Amino acid sequence: MNPRTPFQSSLTQTRKLGPISVRKIFGTEMIAVSGIDLVTEVHDETRFGKYVGHHLAPLRPIIGDGLITVETDHPNWRLAHDILMPGFTREAMQGYHSVMLTVIRELLDRWDGAADSGRTVNVTDDTTRLALETIGRAGFGYRFGSFDRRMPHPFVSAMNRTLQYANWSTVPPLARLVRPLLLRSGAVMTRIVDDVIRARQDGARTGANDLLDLMLNATHPKTGHRLDPDNIRQQVITFIVAGHETTSGAMAFALHYLTQNPDVLARAKAEVDAVWGDADNPEPAYADIAKLRYVRAVLDESLRLWPTAPGYLRVARKDTVLGGRYRIRKGQWVLVVLPLVQRDPQVWADPERFDPDRFAPGRAKNRAHAYKPFGTGQRACIGRQFALHEAVLALGMILHRYDLTPEKDYRLRISESITLKPRGFRLSLGKRAASSRLQDVDTELIRRSA
């Protein structure tokens, strides 16, 4: 196992071993499931539940009972989940839309400068800036200044170190060595978040209708309980980290696959142009995002091939048998290997091929358990709609504004922390003329008529 890429370095072996396998890593047994029949059983909430340990355990000293690290039977999970659910309603999403739009325009300003000067852009770095700035402002009224700084914000530097150390901590011989570094980086994030919370309590952005407002002021609809101060801090760090890591990677993977598939790219551009016309600076409405169905399909297909959160753990609620022959003891956990589940040839024809039409209307029947990039069951990602709206809006505006050219001979390489992202992926940008948008609109209309 390569400690820098532990997930990828085990993926080939897991594929060869078949739909279920077990390996022993420094005395710890890990059962991996990747066949759709077995995964469907593992998703049965009466037999299995979410297991937080192993890959997320190293984060607990920093984010404690955050939504991604607390066990389901702990009171803090239900309390925080129910208090924060109103932050992801349709009404709340409409309020976030303008914030997302503002941050995307800052990205476009940065990319305009690169296009004018002939410079390439590092896609993953910039989608990370975009997603981080969006969750910071929309969720907590905090500006990281991601597009203004030469050096990363101290929170960002500490967060990146924390995620890398957490990844290395899953390899037992490294865990003790990196723990002091992990705690030191976590302390930096904690101090910054405490300052943000203190400023809000002292009257900054009074009346803000965001996630921090819910954390500080909302009560549980049934019990009337509030989040305690320690848990508020833990939830803020959780949302900033989890709320940008997966989204930024998803956007970067989508742009990679778009630039590797010219027909897909042309069709996505035509769809965007049909919605926003030839204006250089359109004003996308919230309702426009639902019209970008093919762009959404591109994002979905990218997440099928490379889910940015590439797996999750499920723990047996009782002694059980998978597939009629594999005994799993109560309390034993299994890893669902998403890149293999989402490539299972029983479900996906020609599974390695990039084909957004897999997600065309009516095509999703009978594969509910074969596509789970946001997790499963009651512990599925609470911010899924936030992430999807942000990503489709950003991809649409990028496609409307630029012609995208990847570096010659680039081959997809993937970096790992607790998520997966493209590494070294750069694009050249050319500003699109209004005439090219009109031409693409005409092409789309002809295609639809055909």
Q: With contact defined as beta carbons under 8 Å apart, do 20 and 33 qualify?
A: yes
User: 374, 376, 386, 419: which is the annotated catalytic residue?
Assistant: 374
- Give the whole-angstrom CA distance, residue 293 versus residue 448: 14
User: 247, 253, 359, 381: which is the annotated catalytic residue?
Assistant: 381
DSSP code of residue 112: H
* 111 in a known ligand binding site: no
Side-chain-facing half-sphere of 256: CA atoms under 13 Å: 28
39-43-46 Cα angle (round to 5) = 135
The sign of the torsion formed by the CA atoms of 232, 156, 104, 382 equals negative
374 flagged as catalytic: yes
User: 246, 259, 308, 376: which is the annotated catalytic residue?
Assistant: 246
Residue type at position 276: W
Antiparallel, parallel or unpaired: β 326-328 and 320-322: antiparallel
Per-residue b or e along 333-345, where b marks 16 or more CB atoms closer than 10 Å to that residue's CB = bbbbbbbbbbbbe
246 flagged as catalytic: yes
Beta bridge partners of 265: none
DSSP code of residue 432: P
Per-residue b or e along 211-223, where b marks 16 or more CB atoms closer than 10 Å to that residue's CB = bbbbbeebeeeee
C-alpha distances in angstroms, 75 versus 162, 356, 380?
A: 26, 40, 18
Give residues with Cβ within 8 angstroms of 185, minimum separation 6.
158, 159, 161, 162, 165
SS3 21: strand
- Give the whole-angstrom CA distance, residue 124 versus residue 308: 12
381 flagged as catalytic: yes
Q: With contact defined as beta carbons under 8 Å apart, do 81 and 211 qualify?
A: no
Q: With contact defined as beta carbons under 8 Å apart, do 42 and 322 qualify?
A: yes
List binding-site positions. 381
**Active-site amino acid positions:** 246, 374, 381
Q: Which residues are annotated as a binding site for heme?
A: 381
